[in-house]
Amino acid sequence: MPADRMDIDLSSILDNVDEQLVEFTAEVDGDEYEFAVQYAVLEALSGDAPDDDAVEMFNMFSDTIADAGLVALARNSDQALIVISENDLE
């Protein structure tokens, strides 16, 4: 049965400008995973490219990102860093 809830550790959110990712740690079913959401996802959700406000955008869409993170986790749970892409948006 796939997980249905992700708890994002808000203190772990990091804007990786060089890689155009917002990285974070989240707990799913008692296990911690490292995630990264592509800037392209933030742009798809907001309609604007993240400039200096990627973390703010992440916080605005954190529920949607958490849902997409569960999709990405189900697809690829054995990676050290699970990257959330536009394909993971439902």
Give 2's pLDDT tier (boundaries 50, 70, 90).
low
Whole-model pTM: value is 0.92
Distance CA(86)–CA(10), nearest Å, equals: 22
42 burial (CB, 10 Å; 0-12 / 13-18 / 19+) is: buried
Residue 25 has pLDDT above 90, yes or no: yes
Give 4's pLDDT tier (boundaries 50, 70, 90).
confident
Quick count: other Cβ atoms within 10 Å of Cβ 32?
Answer: 11
Query: At 73, phi and psi to the nearest 5?
Result: -65, -45
Domains of the chain: 7-88 (3.30.160.140)
Distance CA(68)–CA(70), nearest Å, equals: 5
